[in-house]
C-alpha cells in the first residue's frame, strides 16, 4: 500500500481526502501544519507528500525528503513558486501540481469586476453606517467598456467566455503571440492604452514579478480598474497604493497579495501594513485568496493529486509533472 502524508489540511478537505485515499487504496496521514524544515521529519516512512502552496519546499527540505525516500511531491495548487524545482531534479524528487475547474476563478473574477464597477464596497460601508443611500454609488456599465485579459491559459479563456455575454470589448495579451485567440490579440502597450479594466491571469515567475509596477501603471488609462486573482507578487503593492492615492487607478480588487502568510499574520496581530492601507479605501476590494474555493475545485485538486501519485509510482506519464515541464521549456 502507498503511504502518503498530507500537510496543511483544512477541515473541509478531510472527507474528500479520505474518499480518494480509499478509492486509490492509499494509507494517509493528515497534518494541519505546513511542510517545512521543522516538520519534514514527519515524512519518514512515507513515499509521497501532498502539500499546499503555503509550504516552503527549499533545498533543506528536499534533501531530507530524499534521505527519507519520500520522492513524490504533489502540490494541490496550480502555483508552484514555493518549490525549488532545480533542487528537486538534483535529488531525483518528482514534483507535480494539479488543475481544477477554471470556472471557479473565472466566475469570481467577473464578480469582482462587477462589484468594482458598481462600487459595492462603498455600498457596504454605507449600510454598515446605517446610511442606505445611493448618491455616492453611481457606477459604470460593463457593455460600454474594454476589458484587457493578461494571460490566455485555462482561466483567462474561461473569463473571456463569461465576459462575452456582457457585450464588452475584450482584448487579450499573452506571452506567446502564436496561439490561436478567439478575441482580439494586442501587444502589452496596446492593452494598457485601450483597456478600462485589466485582469491578471499569468503565473508568478522571475520575469513576471512586479509585472504591474509604476512604469506600467503610468501607461494605463486614467481610472483603470485592476483585478488580480492570480498571484500577489505580480503587483508592486507600494506602486499600486501610490497610484490609488493620485487617482490614476479608479479601483482595484485583489484576491492575492504580496507575502500573504506574513501579511495576513500581521493583520491578525493588528499590525499596520500595506494590506491595511488598501483595505481602508472604499474603492479597493480585498478577499483572502479564495477565488478557487468551490466544492468542485476542491474535489478536483485532491482527486488529481492522488492520480499524480499513482502515475509516478507506476512510471506512467504524469501530465502535471513540473520537472518535465520546467526543464523542457
| Cβ pair 106, 159 in contact under 8 A | yes
- Pick the catalytic residue from 118, 194, 281, 289: 289
- Grid cell 520537472 — which residue? 323
215 is an active site residue: no
Catalytic choice (231, 233, 303, 307): 231
62 with 87: CB under 8 angstroms? yes
CA distance 278 to 15: 36
Got the DSSP string for 147-189? EEEE--SHHHHHHHHHHHTTT-EEEEE-S-TTS--SSEE--HH
281 is catalytic: no
Inter-residue contact 240 to 251 (CB < 8 Å): no
Is residue 260 flagged as an active site residue? yes
Which of 107, 169, 260, 266 is an active site residue?
Answer: 260
DSSP secondary structure letter of residue 265: H
Burial degree of 195 (CB within 10 A; 0-12, 13-18, 19+) = buried
Q: Which residues are marked as active site?
A: 231, 260, 289
Amino acid at each position: 500500500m502507498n503511504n502518503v502524508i498530507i500537510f496543511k489540511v483544512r477541515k473541509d478537505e478531510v472527507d474528500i481526502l479520505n474518499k480518494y485515499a480509499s478509492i486509490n487504496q492509499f494509507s494517509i496521514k493528515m497534518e494541519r501544519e505546513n511542510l517545512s524544515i521543522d516538520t519534514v521529519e514527519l515524512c519518514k516512512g512515507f513515499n509521497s507528500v501532498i502539500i499546499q502552496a503555503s509550504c516552503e519546499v527549499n533545498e533543506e527540505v528536499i534533501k531530507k525528503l530524499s534521505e527519507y525516500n519520500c520522492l513524490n511531491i504533489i502540490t494541490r495548487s496550480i502555483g508552484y513558486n514555493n518549490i525549488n524545482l532545480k533542487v528537486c531534479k538534483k535529488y531525483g524528487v518528482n514534483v507535480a501540481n494539479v488543475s481544477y475547474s477554471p470556472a471557479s476563478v473565472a466566475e469570481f473574477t467577473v464578480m469582482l469586476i462587477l462589484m468594482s464597477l458598481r462600487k459595492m464596497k462603498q455600498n457596504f460601508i454605507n449600510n454598515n453606517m446605517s446610511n442606505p443611500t445611493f448618491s455616492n454609488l453611481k457606477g459604470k456599465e460593463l457593455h460600454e467598456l474594454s476589458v484587457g485579459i493578461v494571460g490566455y491559459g485555462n482561466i483567462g479563456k474561461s473569463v473571456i467566455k463569461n465576459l462575452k455575454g456582457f457585450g464588452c470589448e475584450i482584448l487579450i495579451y499573452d506571452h506567446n503571440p502564436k496561439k490561436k485567440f478567439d478575441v482580439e490579440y494586442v501587444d502589452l502597450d496596446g492593452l494598457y492604452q485601450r483597456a478600462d479594466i485589466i485582469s491578471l491571469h499569468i503565473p508568478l515567475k522571475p520575469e513576471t514579478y512586479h509585472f504591474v509596477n509604476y512604469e506600467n501603471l503610468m501607461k494605463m488609462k486614467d481610472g483603470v480598474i485592476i483585478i488580480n486573482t492570480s498571484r500577489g507578487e505580480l503587483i508592486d503593492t507600494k506602486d499600486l497604493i501610490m497610484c490609488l492615492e493620485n487617482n490614476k487607478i479608479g479601483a482595484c480588487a485583489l484576491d492575492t497579495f504580496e507575502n500573504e502568510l506574513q501579511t495576513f499574520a500581521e493583520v491578525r496581530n493588528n499590525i499596520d501594513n500595506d494590506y491595511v492601507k488598501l483595505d481602508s479605501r472604499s474603492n479597493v476590494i480585498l478577499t483572502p485568496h479564495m477565488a478557487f474555493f468551490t466544492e468542485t475545485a476542491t474535489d478536483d485538486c485532491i482527486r488529481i493529486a492522488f492520480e499524480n501519485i499513482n502515475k509516478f509510482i507506476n512510471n506512467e506519464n504524469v501530465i502535471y509533472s513540473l520537472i518535465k515541464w520546467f526543464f523542457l521549456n
